Amino acid sequence: MADSRKMKRFVVCVRNTGYPVALELRKIYQALADDGAEAHGLVRVIDESGEDYLYPQDFFMAVDLPQRVATAVRRAVG
């Protein structure tokens, strides 16, 4: 079974109130699965610092990228 912390999906930032340096509007971010955070209305996102932090879920919308694009984005961000 895969470690859920390593499961990645993509989200786009639609709001950054209070976090203008850490989150860029309309930018695609990698989000890490975190059931505990999601139960509290939060999402764990790798932000501009390169580290993962919790942000309100309503700051983001999930996006489904074509496999080729998702692979390229993952390579670009490490």
C-alpha–C-alpha distance, residues 48 and 53, integer Å: 10
Residue 78 has what pLDDT? 63
Domain ranges, ordered by start, for the chain: 4-72
Residue 7 has what pLDDT? 59
- As assigned by CATH, the class of the 4-72 domain is mainly beta
Residue 1 has what pLDDT? 35
Query: Which residue in 45, 12, 14 sits closest to 31, CA to CA?
Result: 45
Residue 2 has what pLDDT? 42
pLDDT tens per residue across all 78 residues of the chain? 344 445 579 999 999 999 999 999 999 999 999 999 999 999 999 998 889 999 999 999 999 988 898 888 878 766
